[in-house]
Amino acid sequence: MRINPETVDRIKQTADIVEVVGDFVSLKKKGANYSACCPFHNEKTPSFNVNPVRQIYKCFGCGAAGDSIKFVMDVDGIGYGEALRYLADKYGIEIEEEEVTNEEAARQNARESLYIVLNYAKNFYQQQLHQSEEGHAVGLSYFKERGFSNEILKKFELGYSLDNWDAFSKEALKKGYSAEVLEKAGLLIHKEGGKTAGYDRFRGRVIFPIHNVAGKVIAFGARILKTDKNQPKYLNSPETEVYHKSDILYGIYQAKNAIRQQEHCYLVEGYTDVVSLHQAGIENVVASSGTSLTTEQIRLIGRFTPNITILYDGDVAGIKAALRGLDLVLEEGLNVSVVLFPDGDDPDSYVRKVGAEAFKEHLRKAAKDFITFKTEILLQDAGNDPFRLAAVIGEVVNSIIKIPDAIKRQVFFHRTSEMMKVDEQMLITEGNKLLRKQQTQKPQERSNRQPGSIPNGPSDIGSSGNTQIANDDFADGPPPGLFEPAEEPETALQHTKLYYQEEAFIKLLVLYGSRELEPGITVCQYVLGEIHGIDFKDAIFGHLLTLFREHFGRNSVLVTDYFLNHHESEIRNLTISWLTPKYELSELWSEKFEIYVPFETDVLDKTAFINILRLKKAFIEEKMKICQQQQILAKTEQEEIDVMKEYIFYKSISMAAAKELGSVIG
């Protein structure tokens, strides 16, 4: 089945780019637009721009651009159809589908099959928890002992797997799910040579579904409740096509709004820590699921807030081991604090022991910035041993230099010098020495890259949309190559005046071609009439000029949305870049200085005239260059004279155009 064109149009018209992007990153209002740090590449200064009027986004760092559908595809790594279904679900749009051929059905995205079977598994485990005798007696009683309400069980979609070798897989196979898909989803363990398809991965365990940022179930964590030395206490889904443990944080879907609103994130270790804190009203909390914190997980938190507090139990040995990995958080520019709990307690047990209010008070009082916390922990072990104290200084300085912000580094050097009673300048000198050492050892990150390539961006860039004219062509997703990166124009041509004037001219047509300069005369009609007989050298601009001429010849004018939804990625990307300028005039010019700068749309007639004049001047200058080359190659004196006359003619036109431009601009 495929989504019909009418439903696709409804989704596009309903989806709000600010709401869609805001589900994944924390947007800040900036003039008429919104900005954020780009989710597609690592950056400290926001270069990701969202335009609510045009319903598009553009990153000036990595070049990522597109509409709501394209954003969901890239940020969640899913296909066109999946992105449409996600948006339809978000906005409560009923999906109408059409029959597809057997060949088309066979091409259904494998990832979508995994999402479907994982969602089925989640529903099955929930049903067993609430409706089976074993689920009630074992699973539900465990959750109730921990004080989890029915609302919390529903919020996290907690479940139970029966203590049976194939209770789930037998039911799933009956429903038509293949053993191959069950195995690929990490739900079934294949048994070579066995009489059955295999056996269930999760048996006799309470189930914690793991969701991605968009809310899709991508994996499961499962806790055994009986004592069995041969079984691990916790069992997680294996890595699959949709689940990469190092990229995800447990609870991020349930916590993202609270993190964004409170501009703070608490990081804990286990599933029950997250659920217990939500039960206590602390919702801005996620878990690393027992793994060492990874750069990808840190960046995921950084999408929503720069402030993170890590909650540790009182196990000193475990804390010391974890300290080494926390420099990664500093490197990403996040503000890191740490809270310790009394020996024997973790966040789950402590909140159940003291209650929600006392727990929140402990978070406020016990929080310490990471550098101070690390210094205190290491000093406890060092005692008065000068060699160990020197090692502590080296470790702390090594953490401070990981902080990207120079002012913050200076503050921590000053505070550390006071805590350790050592000279601040000595710490700074040691820090500089370590930095130089690291820089000489650091491998060249760009050594294996193509010139001009940008790392960490999405694999493809552009809008996901389709033109109104060819809606049916895109009903079941984009054609091959639709989202392939556009080829760069010839570098040499980019640096000529003619290239830039051709670009300015086409930009005027794309953005304002349908606007009227005066009643009955559009920008398109005026400028095309003024450049009759001129053809463009740049291939893409020439192609666009031809499109305008063809449509104008049929008494129709192309509008901006046509190019935003064009099937060629380079045309879409150019349009988005023209609609989202990197720099905008500050409102202070009018508000503070009372200097009113007109918008381009207010002076379209003047803009059109100047662009035509500049284009003609650049075109003439290209002719002059050709004359100069012909003069060098002239074989006779007469040829040289003829070329010189032609050059003088073009020169006079160029000078007249320059004079006219001077008077118009002045």
Domain boundary among 78, 107, 136: 107
Q: Is residue 653 a part of any domain in this protein?
A: yes
| The CA-based dihedral angle spanning residues 290, 291, 292, 296, taken in that order and rounded to the nearest 10 degrees | -120
Domain boundary among 223, 243, 263: 243
Query: Distance between CA atoms of 542 and 548, rounded to whole angstroms?
Result: 10
Reported as type and span, the H/E element at residue 30 is strand 28-30
Query: Distance between CA atoms of 491 and 206, rounded to whole angstroms?
Result: 60
Which residues, other chains included, contact 533 with Cβ-Cβ below 8 Å and sequence gap of 6+?
none
CATH of residue 88's domain is 3.90.580.10
Maximal CA-CA distance, the chain: 107
pLDDT digits (tens, 9 = 90+) for 208-226: 999 998 889 999 999 999 8
Query: Does residue 260 share a domain with residue 235?
Result: no
Query: Distance between CA atoms of 94 and 40, rounded to whole angstroms?
Result: 30
Expressed in angstroms, the distance from the first to the final Cα of the chain is 62
Question: Burial of 64 by CB count in 10 Å (0-12 exposed, 13-18 middle, 19+ buried)?
Answer: buried
- Give the pLDDT of residue 585: 59
3-state SS assignment for residue 217:
strand
Query: Does residue 341 share a domain with residue 223?
Result: no
Tokens of 248: 């995800």
- Give the pLDDT of residue 470: 33
Q: Is residue 455 a part of any domain in this protein?
A: no
Domain boundary among 219, 243, 267: 243
- Tell me the pairing of strands 28-30 and 234-236: unpaired
Query: Does residue 216 share a domain with residue 257?
Result: no
Query: Does residue 136 share a domain with residue 91?
Result: no
- Give the pLDDT of residue 464: 41
Of 1, 25, 8, 17, residue with least CA distance to 80: 8
Query: Does residue 648 share a domain with residue 632?
Result: yes
Contact between 303 and 37 under an 8 Å Cβ cutoff? The reply is yes
Measured CA to CA in angstroms, residue 405 lies from 42, 400, 555 at distances of 15, 10, 58
Cα-to-chain-centroid distance, residue 150: 34
- Give the pLDDT of residue 221: 96
Reported as type and span, the H/E element at residue 160 is strand 159-161
Q: Quick one: three-class SS letters along 71-125?
A: HHHHHHCCCHHHHHHHHHHHCCCCCCEECCCHHHHHCCCHHHHHHHHHHHHHHHH
Q: How many domains does the chain have?
A: 4
Q: Is residue 99 a part of any domain in this protein?
A: yes
- Give the pLDDT of residue 307: 94
Annotate 516-543 with b (16+ C-beta within 10 A) or e (fewer): ebeeeebbbebbbeebeeeebebebbee
pLDDT digits (tens, 9 = 90+) for 473-511: 333 443 333 333 333 334 444 457 788 888 888 898 888
Q: Is residue 476 a part of any domain in this protein?
A: no
Reported as type and span, the H/E element at residue 286 is strand 285-287
Query: Does residue 645 share a domain with residue 542?
Result: yes
**DSSP designation for 469:** T
| Average pLDDT per consecutive 10 residues, the chain (666 residues; last block may be shorter) | 80 91 89 88 85 87 87 80 87 78 54 90 97 95 94 97 94 92 93 71 96 92 87 92 92 92 92 95 89 87 92 75 82 92 88 93 94 90 87 92 91 93 91 81 48 39 35 38 36 61 88 83 85 84 88 81 80 83 62 61 77 84 86 84 86 81 57
Measured CA to CA in angstroms, residue 34 lies from 165, 622, 637 at distances of 52, 41, 64
CATH of residue 400's domain is 3.40.1360.10
Which residues, other chains included, contact 574 with Cβ-Cβ below 8 Å and sequence gap of 6+?
510, 540, 563
The domain containing residue 272 runs over which residues? 252-441
Cα-to-chain-centroid distance, residue 86: 16
Query: Does residue 342 share a domain with residue 393?
Result: yes
Of 582, 589, 607, 595, residue with least CA distance to 664: 607
Tokens of 423: 């000279």
Tokens of 162: 């029966």
